[in-house]
Structure 1
């Protein structure tokens, strides 16, 4: 298993296809450092390539999921961009820095395997960027969410403003982004940001594990295809989306997974699928 400074990848059982990717800076409430942005796409690429991993659970070590971008990282990016450069070159350099950080968050979407966010405690700023890029989200009752950038005189730029409206609705996203207020776990459920709320961290871990294991028991071809088609169809008309999935299935449908799924159903047994 690869080693990282700010993250850890855990396989809790050698027989499980569920892998855990944990933000691992608990002393700073898992604030995102420059190392975090460098390591996140590497970790996700590693899980994407790992044939034993079918589902990824993304969580935070310690008492909080993520407190946003480390202020030291913001200062470093700002000073690095402005150092010895004219205004135009400084702006171009800063744009490249922002694009690189955006790509780190988008790596969650690009991972072929479903990524489930398990949120407890604070999920602020960059934490919201992360969870909106995940495929499914759950939280504890005491979790809270805040699109905090407006309070730091920043326009959120790592994906929240692009992804949150399609999850909770344009009006709700606008209100949350303009006010920077805290949204409770129960309100997050009402808005549709999370699919379920659990009473404690232990209940969250157990509940998410059951969901992840259930997904991992299904055809890897069907699971990766479902994620890809849903994401791609987001920006298409219905007709375009239907054409895309027809093309996808014409290439992927006739796999051994289909034969195995039908045989298992007829024989009333659990299907056994080949690794991806």
Structure 2
């Protein structure tokens, strides 16, 4: 398994198809460095291609989930963009931002569901990451902030595009314009997270239970559900229905379907082949 500077992939139970992906710069509150943006899509691609992995849980090592983009990185980006010709600097900056965006979108490209387990701070780039995840949970002491406006920049890695469909347009606008701190409980009320837990251990146990439940289901059905939901988000109803009809015309008649029917008749748990 590949070793990373900013991340760690952990399989806590060798018999489990749930894998943990840790943001692993705890001394920097998991601030996002240039290494992160090159390593994160590689880590997710490796989990996507790993037939033993059915579900990914995303954690932050240490006391916080993620404090946002590393400010040293931000300074170096600004210096690079401002050196020399303004037009060429702007063209380079656009390509660079697109590359950073692509690293976050790798969460959606991963066929396996990615569950964010959030504790402590989830700020700026951290919000970009969790809004790209499929399910989110947090501890009661977690807090969120779309902080970019306080750095005199416009959030550009996905929060402004994904957050409105999660918490509603009005809530997203208010959070993005004020940059205020959103508590874990308020995040639950807004629908940003599916559950809030009293401690990190409680969250870990609950998220592990949810992940194992998803991992026990047909991997074809799970990956298809994720793919269709993400595609339908950007389609009207008729287009979405057409897309899922096409998807299921290819995927529906599988060994997983036969196994599910047999297991129900025989009153046993189904077992599925790896994806």
TM-score, normalised to structure 2, is: 0.99
Q: Deviations over 1:15-60 (max 9, x none)?
A: 0000000000000000000001110000000000000000000010
Deviation at 1:114, TM superposition (A): 0.2
Deviation at 1:76, TM superposition (A): 1.3
Deviation beyond 3 Å, 4+ runs, structure 1: none
For residue 125 of structure 2, what is the aligned residue in structure 1?
126
In structure 2, how many angstroms separate the alpha carbons of the residues matched to 1:179 and 1:145? 12
For residue 77 of structure 1, what is the aligned residue in structure 2?
77
**1:241-252 matched pairs, under 5 angstroms:** 241-252=240-251
For residue 98 of structure 2, what is the aligned residue in structure 1?
99
For residue 87 of structure 1, what is the aligned residue in structure 2?
86
Asked if residue 9 in structure 1 is aligned to residue 6 in structure 2, the reply is no
For residue 154 of structure 1, what is the aligned residue in structure 2?
153
Q: Deviations over 1:87-127 (max 9, x none)?
A: 10000001111000000000001100000000000000000
For residue 266 of structure 1, what is the aligned residue in structure 2?
265
Deviation at 1:82, TM superposition (A): 2.4
In structure 2, how many angstroms separate the alpha carbons of the residues matched to 1:89 and 1:242? 44
Deviation at 1:80, TM superposition (A): 1.9
TM-score, normalised to structure 1, is: 0.99
For residue 59 of structure 2, what is the aligned residue in structure 1?
59
Deviation at 1:257, TM superposition (A): 0.2
Q: Mark the runs of 5 or more structure 2 residues left unpaired by the alignment.
A: none
Q: Secondary structure at the match of 2:20?
A: strand
For residue 113 of structure 1, what is the aligned residue in structure 2?
112
For residue 220 of structure 1, what is the aligned residue in structure 2?
219
Q: Deviations over 1:248-276 (max 9, x none)?
A: 00000011000000100111101000000
Q: Deviations over 1:168-206 (max 9, x none)?
A: 000000000000000000000000000000100000111
For residue 167 of structure 1, what is the aligned residue in structure 2?
166
Deviation at 1:77, TM superposition (A): 1.2
In structure 2, how many angstroms separate the alpha carbons of the residues matched to 1:79 and 1:7? 27
In structure 2, how many angstroms separate the alpha carbons of the residues matched to 1:12 and 1:65? 19
